[in-house]
Amino acid sequence: MLAFICTLTAGWENASAQTTPLAQPTASPQPTASPQTAANRNESERSDRLTGGHIEFAEFDPNQPDIRLTLNVPSFRLTLWQNGKEVKSYFVGVGMKEHPIYIGDREANELIWNPAWIPPSSDWVLEMKGVSPGEVIKASDPRNPLGKMKIPLGDRYLIHQAAKTTDLGNLVSHGCVRMLRPELYDLAEKIVAARSAPVSAKRIAAAKRNSRTLVVHLDEPVPVDINYDTLVVEEGVLHVYPDVYDRGTNRPAKLRAELQAANVDVTNLNEKTIKQILSKATRHKQFVVETHSIVEGRALEDGRVLPLIPRKQKEATRQSSHKN
């Protein structure tokens, strides 16, 4: 049951039920493009058009508050950036097609260990046995699907603990982001350290051991950019991700336009080859090819089909989750 539940009400943050649906805006001011800010909601933060063709990596530095999170839904990859450089990436699970995650700008204002769950008055909750909309389900209650931690993103949306390792790379929730507990702890503690949040390591350790709720408010919100980009040219490599929400993004005209916008010569790329490239991105696979191979007319010969979640990553996360 846990694999199919995600809280969707703002009432979780204030322990009161709220079931009014959020209307997703049709038009809103777009931020200026930068290495970690998409020019629109369909532009990956890793795109060469935004990074200039190079992503800088850095070790995490405590007490450096310039941090932000980005998530490209089709790649199932959540990234923590600090001072404009990538610190760490995590693979996640996201909302189902019927309950897709919000695409756009969000904010994280607090971190909550051992959160309560207030089921919303939604059809999927009404179909559940032993759960009533509006009741407060404590962290220690086995009916609570949030796990040991949640990071509210405003309105109905959260980052919270995954039910199992197979949540990663899958559409599993009712609109939220799911992370394995060790990685969620790691992310939260990095946010605490970067922002010098008013909580001690001792209190965090205690919250991990017990079921008492611990809420840490952030003086300044952490920006969270959620985008939907299936065609990404990253550091001279084309990544074709599956169109997991069936939004019609993997079309020949869109791929040709993406390559041309990245200054890739598509003279040797005919319509038949483009369709074959797009067909290779399936539900759990991506197609990857260096742009120079496209220019040379060797996209299919040199390209590779790779799992969205690398096998080594799957094994590492499985072992880590067993230890925690």
Q: What does the pLDDT look like over 200-219, one tens digit per residue?
A: 999 999 999 999 999 999 99
Give the whole-angstrom CA distance, residue 27 versus residue 37.
Answer: 17
Whether 47 contacts 41, CB under 8 Å: no
Q: Report the pLDDT value the prediction gives residue 317, as an integer from 0 to 100.
A: 53
Average predicted confidence (pLDDT) for the chain: 86
DSSP class of residue 34?
B
Is it the case that residue 25 has pLDDT exceeding 60?
Answer: no
Q: Report the pLDDT value the prediction gives residue 131, as an integer from 0 to 100.
A: 81
Give the whole-angstrom CA distance, residue 37 versus residue 41.
Answer: 10
Q: What percent of the chain has pLDDT over 90?
A: 71
Whether 144 contacts 257, CB under 8 Å: no
Q: Report the pLDDT value the prediction gives residue 318, as an integer from 0 to 100.
A: 52
- Dihedral of CA 282/286/291/297: which sign? negative
Q: Report the pLDDT value the prediction gives residue 82, as an integer from 0 to 100.
A: 98
Centroid of chain to Cα 100: 12
Q: How confident is the model at residue 1 (pLDDT cuts 50, 70, 90)?
A: very low
| Tokens matching residue 40 | 């629109």
Whether 130 contacts 154, CB under 8 Å: no
Q: What is the enclosing helix (H) or strand (E) of 240?
A: strand 237-240
DSSP 189-217: HHHHHHHT-S--HHHHHHHHHS---EEEE
Q: Report the pLDDT value the prediction gives residue 312, as an integer from 0 to 100.
A: 66
Q: Which residue has the higher pLDDT, 200 or 320?
A: 200
Q: Report the pLDDT value the prediction gives residue 129, as an integer from 0 to 100.
A: 81
